[in-house]
Structure 1
C-alpha cells in the first residue's frame, strides 16, 4: 500500500476523497479542525464510524469546550471513554485540554512541584496550560486504541494547543538554566514548598517526565505516517481565510495536512439546473453542467412564467361563461402563478449563493488542488445526526469523483 507521501512524489492527481487516509493503517492520531460551524464534529464522527469498520479499536475524543459529539451520536459522553451504542470497538469521550478546565488530566495544584513550577515559569504565559496538555497527551499516548480521532475546537484554540509542545520545551529549558545559574535554587524551592520536603531528585524526575512527554507529542505530530490533520471549511471568506492560516501553522509545526473537506457546497443540480446524461456520467459533470446552466430567461422560455399564468387566470375570468366553469381553472392558474413565483425566488437565491461560493471554490482550487485531497461535500437538507446518517456522510467522504463546481 502506497503512503500519502508516495502519492505526492509520483505527481499523480490526488483523489477527491479521504480514502487514502482511511487506508493508512499506521495512523494513530487524526485531528479534525477548522472554523466553528463548518462541520468539524460531523466529519470527525463520520470518520470514527468508518474507521470502526476498519480498525481494531477507535476512540473519538473531543477537545472542543462546546462539545457536540454527543448530539451527533445521540448519546451522552464525559471525560471517560464510553462505548458508542451499537458498536463493540468505538468509544467516545469529551474533555477540555485546558489545564484550568480539565478534571481528569488537570495538573495537580498541590503544595510542592505544582506550586513551584507555576511560580518559576510564570514569566511564560501559557506554560501552565502547556503542562496540562502534556499530561493529557501523555495519557492519550498510553490509551489502548489503534487510532484516535480528535474533534478539535475552533482554529485559534487548536493552534494554541498544537503549539504547546514547543512552548513547554521553552519553559522547561528556562527552568533548567535557572537551576544551573543559582546555587541556592533548592533552598528557594523548599521555602516555596512550606512544610513539604521536596527532594532534588524528585524535582528532576518530574521535569524529565514533562520534557519526555512534550518530546513524545512533538515526535508524533511530526510523523505523517502516525499523525495527520484534516481541515474542514465551507466556501465562505472567513472559513477559507482561517483554513489558509491553519495550514500555514500546521506546516510550521511540521504536522501533515493532506486532506481538506469543503462542506456545504451547492452543486448545479442542487439549484435545479439541468444536467444532461453525458454530463452526469462525466467526472467533471458539475463543471460541465454549470457551463451550460440555464439562465432565468431560458427558464421562462421552457414554460409559462408567473405573469403568463396570472394573465391566463384573468382571461378565464373574463370569458362569457358561468363561474362554475371558468372559476376552478382560473383559481388553478392563480395557484400555479404563486407557486412559480416562489420557485423563481428560491432559484434566484440559490443562484446568488452559488455565485458567491464559486469565488471561494476557485480560490480553494487554486491554493490546494495540486497538493491536497480536496473533498467537496454537497449542502444537505437535514442535520447529520445518528449513526445511520453519519455513515451516509462517511460514504461521501470516502467516495471520490466529485469536482468543485465553478461559476458558469
Structure 2
C-alpha cells in the first residue's frame, strides 16, 4: 500500500458497492495503529459491517478496538441523520399545510440526495471542526462524498435564498436548503478534501471493465472539483495456483485482460494491487495480511458443498415467469451485479419459448443489445433507453416550466441542480413507464427499474397534484397507470439481482425493503456469478466457494421467496449462445 509510505492525516475510501472499500479502510486503519499511531475509523454506510470485520460492537461515537491499541472506530447512521434532518425541514409545516402536501414534502426529503447531504453533514462535523478529531493522528472514512454532493456544496449560488422556496420533486436543493447555517464548516471541509497535504482519496475497484469505468468516472469528476491527491486500489486480483483448474485459469485471464485495458484516467494513478482473498476479510489478523507481497500457497481442507443447498437454475425460474404469458419483468440491483445480463438472458429464454418479447436496456455501450440484434432471434426486439437523451429532454422541459420567472442566478442554480443523479432517475423513470405499458399483450423485460424512493415520490407527487390542482391531464397516461401495474403481481415480476458477497446481498435486502415500502413485492432473487455450482480444485477458489455459502443461505432463508443461481462464466455471456447458456441447468454449467 504505497499511500501508507507517507500517509496524509485524512484518508477517504470510495468505490461502488461490493468492491471492498470497507475491508481496505479497515486494513489501513489496523496497519497505521500498529505503528503506534492513534487512528479513528469512521463509516457512514447504512449497511456498515465494520462491527463484523473488526469483531467489536460499535456505536455512533469512537469505540476502542481492544485487540489493536490506538485504534478507535465508529458507525454513523446517515439514515438516522437524514430522518432528523428531514424533520427539521418538514416539522414546521405540520398542521399548517394539508396532510397531502406534508406527505409529499416528506417523500421529497427521503431519497438518496437527502441521504448524501446528511452523510456529508456528519463528515463535516469530523473534518470541519478540528477539535472533534484532535486526539487522533489519522482519520479514515470508508465512504467518501460523491462528486455531485461536493459540486452542489461549492456553488456560491447554492447558499442563496432561492433554495428556501425550491421544493421540486427532482431537486437536491430542497435537502440542501437546511444547511445554510453551517456554510463556514462545509467550506472548511471541502477545502480539506482538496488539500493534497491533508487528504488522500483512495479509489477502490475490482479487476473488471465496468468497475474500472466507474472508478475512472469518479476520479475525473473529483479531480475537476480539486480533489487531485488520488490513489487506486485494484482489489481482488486472482492468481491461479492450479494450472489444471480450467475455471481458475479463465478467471486469471479475465482479470489480466481487464487490467491491461484499464482506462488511461486511472491507469496513471499510483496503484496498489490486492490479491483475491480466499474468504471474507474478517478479523484483525486477516486485515494485517492485506497487501503483503507474498501470497502463501495454501492446501486447506474443505467441506463438500452439498448440491441440495444450492438454489435452482435460472431456466426453471424462466419457466415460471412464462406461465402468465405477458407482462413486465424488471431486473433490479446495484451497479456491477449483472442486472443487464440477467435481463437479456431472461428475454432470450422467453423468446426461445415462443413468446413475443421486447428487451429494453440502458447498457451504456449497447453491447448486449448489439449482440442480440445481430443474432436476429425470432420474436425478440431490442430497444435502448438512453439516459443522456432522456435527461436532456426532461431538463429542457423543466427549464421551460419551473425555470420561468427565475433570474439569471436562479436559472444557473436550477441548471446545476438538474445535473444531479435525481434528475436522471426521474427522466429514465418516465421512459421506463412508457416501456412498461407495452407489457399488456407481450413480455417486456427491462434492466432499468425505479428505486422504491422514486415510486413513492411519484405516488406522493400525484396525490399532491390531485389535491391542489384537481387536474391530471398534464401527467402522461403511462405514468398515471404505472403504479397499479408495478403493484400488480400478475403484471409485474421483479427480479432482484445480487452477488454471493456481503455488501451486494445487504444492499439488495435494503432495495427489497424500499420496494415493499412502495407496495411492490419482488418475485425472486437471482444470485449471479457464483462459484458454488462449479467443480473447482484450486484452493483459492475452493475457499471462495465455501465463503459464498453463508450469503446464499442468507438469501434463501431470510430474504427471497424463490431464488435462482447463475454460475460464474469462463466466457463473458454475450450474444444468443452466451445468454442462452445462463438459463441452462446448473448441472450443465458444472459439466462445462
> TM-score interval w.r.t. the shorter chain?
0.5 to 0.7
Matches within 5 A, 1:236-247: 236-247=208-219
Instruction: Answer yes or no: is the 8 Å Cα contact 2:40–2:140 preserved in 1.
Output: yes
1:53 paired with 2:41, answer no
1:63-82 deviation line (CA, Å, top 9, x unaligned): 11110111111222121211
Q: Which residue of 2 aligns with 1:149?
A: 140
Deviation at 1:131, TM superposition (A): 5.7
Deviation at 1:133, TM superposition (A): 4.4
Matches within 5 A, 1:228-243: 228-243=200-215
CA shift in 2, pair 1:161/1:82, >3 Å: farther
Unaligned runs of at least 5 residues, structure 2? 97-101, 166-177, 295-592
Q: Which residue of 1 aligns with 2:432?
A: none
1:22-44 deviation line (CA, Å, top 9, x unaligned): 2335x232111112111111100
Matches within 5 A, 1:18-167: 18-19=1-2, 21-25=3-7, 27-54=8-35, 56-97=37-78, 101=82, 108-109=88-89, 132-133=118-119, 135-141=121-127, 142=129, 143-144=132-133, 145-152=136-143, 158-166=146-154
Instruction: Answer yes or no: is the 8 Å Cα contact 1:107–1:135 preserved in 2.
Output: no
Q: Which residue of 1 aligns with 2:185?
A: 213
CA shift in 2, pair 1:112/1:246, >3 Å: same
Q: Which residue of 1 aligns with 2:284?
A: 387
Give the Cα–Cα distance (whole angstroms) in 2 for the partners of residues 128 and 37 of structure 1. Answer: 23
1:155-200 deviation line (CA, Å, top 9, x unaligned): xx74444445236x5431245999xxxxxxxxxxxxxxxxxxxxxx
CA shift in 2, pair 1:37/1:378, >3 Å: same
CA shift in 2, pair 1:373/1:385, >3 Å: same
CA shift in 2, pair 1:99/1:172, >3 Å: farther
CA shift in 2, pair 1:72/1:164, >3 Å: farther
Instruction: Answer yes or no: is the 8 Å Cα contact 2:236–2:276 preserved in 1.
Output: yes
Give the Cα–Cα distance (whole angstroms) in 2 for the partners of residues 173 and 66 of structure 1. Answer: 34
Q: Which residue of 1 aligns with 2:175?
A: none
1:351 paired with 2:333, answer no
Give the Cα–Cα distance (whole angstroms) in 2 for the partners of residues 164 and 58 of structure 1. Answer: 30
Deviation at 1:62, TM superposition (A): 0.8
Matches within 5 A, 1:294-313: none
1:255 paired with 2:237, answer no
Deviation at 1:108, TM superposition (A): 4.1
Q: Which residue of 2 aligns with 1:11?
A: none
CA shift in 2, pair 1:222/1:102, >3 Å: farther
Give the Cα–Cα distance (whole angstroms) in 2 for the partners of residues 235 and 385 of structure 1. Answer: 22
Give the Cα–Cα distance (whole angstroms) in 2 for the partners of residues 109 and 177 of structure 1. Answer: 10
CA shift in 2, pair 1:247/1:112, >3 Å: same
1:281-321 deviation line (CA, Å, top 9, x unaligned): xxxxxxxxxxxxxxxxxxxxxxxxxxxxxxxxxxxxxxxxx
Instruction: Answer yes or no: is the 8 Å Cα contact 2:147–2:221 preserved in 1.
Output: yes
Bigger RCO (CA 8 Å, 6+ sep)? 1
1:171 paired with 2:158, answer yes
Secondary structure, in 3 states, of the residue corresponding to 2:160?
helix
Instruction: Answer yes or no: is the 8 Å Cα contact 1:44–1:151 preserved in 2.
Output: yes
Give the Cα–Cα distance (whole angstroms) in 1 for the partners of residues 192 and 63 of structure 2. Answer: 25
Give the Cα–Cα distance (whole angstroms) in 2 for the partners of residues 160 and 234 of structure 1. Answer: 23
Instruction: Answer yes or no: is the 8 Å Cα contact 2:204–2:234 preserved in 1.
Output: yes
Deviation at 1:212, TM superposition (A): 0.3
1:272 paired with 2:242, answer yes
Q: Which residue of 1 aligns with 2:275?
A: 378
Deviation at 1:356, TM superposition (A): 1.7
The alignment covers a number of residue pairs equal to 266
Secondary structure, in 3 states, of the residue corresponding to 1:244?
helix
Unaligned runs of at least 5 residues, structure 1? 1-17, 179-205, 274-343, 398-408
Instruction: Answer yes or no: is the 8 Å Cα contact 1:70–1:77 preserved in 2.
Output: yes
Give the Cα–Cα distance (whole angstroms) in 2 for the partners of residues 365 and 76 of structure 1. Answer: 40
Secondary structure, in 3 states, of the residue corresponding to 1:231?
strand
The runs of at least 4 aligned residues of structure 1 exceeding 6 Å deviation read 110-113
Q: Tell me the TM-score normalised to structure 2 length.
A: 0.40
Secondary structure, in 3 states, of the residue corresponding to 1:210?
helix
CA shift in 2, pair 1:126/1:162, >3 Å: same
